[in-house]
Structure 1
């Protein structure tokens, strides 16, 4: 009998992949903070995770996430700039930091699950 680690990790397997994709999007926003006309993008994490988990048994083989544009949303700026750039550095940095913390939380849950499985295998 084999162990399916994707099922053992639960929702955190998909959450980690989505958080990694969101990190790329937020990093791109930060990198283009001074690019005239650049439109800040973001990923609706909750909606993307819900759609990823909506596949039958509750776990997705591959995420239906296309970061080339389809699942990304435009961010509405609090204070629009004159050059058309909608990136606000403080907002992006806060979103990036929160996403990093959420990634670390999911990673910790996966680590705890795997330690629990290792203890079960060892018979402890």
Structure 2
């Protein structure tokens, strides 16, 4: 079994992809802070139910082992759901980007990404130790 097939690694990779995609959106928000009519966007964090049903990222899908079992439904669309109009205050030109809030989100996103990558590295280290490769 390859390390890529272990469920915890696929979930951590999906979470890292989510943080990368969120960072791109937050950077767009900061870059368009002076653009008239621009509305801030953010990614909605996948819920546990979506992960179990396989609707967020690769997720955890259901396996049908018997023809009498009920099949799970997986919805199509983008990998992660984008929330629009996250800004609360609107400037006279219609812009809804608050730089302070966006920078706080960027910092929090960076810390969360570092935590996920740390978990990924530690998990790989545990597997290497178990295999005697350390």
RMSD: 2.4
Which blocks of at least 5 consecutive residues in structure 1 are unaligned?
58-62
Which blocks of at least 5 consecutive residues in structure 2 are unaligned?
64-76
Q: Give the drift of 1:78.
A: 2.9
TM-score (norm 2): 0.74
1:56 equivalenced with 2:62 (yes/no)? yes
> Relative contact order (alpha carbons < 8 A, sep ≥ 6): 1 or 2 greater?
1
Q: For 1:57-103, what per-residue CA distance to the aligned partner results, in whole angstroms no more than 9, with x for missing partners?
A: 6xxxxx9516xxxx211134332111111110001001111011100
Asked if 1 retains the 8 angstrom alpha-carbon contact of 2:39 and 2:87, the reply is no
Greater gyration radius:
2
User: Which of the pair is proportionally richer in helix?
Assistant: 1
Asked if 2 retains the 8 angstrom alpha-carbon contact of 1:26 and 1:95, the reply is yes
Q: Quick one: distance in 2 between partners of 1:56 and 1:12?
A: 19
For 1:60, the equivalent position in structure 2 comes to none
* Cα distance change on mapping 1:121 and 1:54 into 2, 3 Å: closer
Asked if 2 retains the 8 angstrom alpha-carbon contact of 1:6 and 1:13, the reply is no
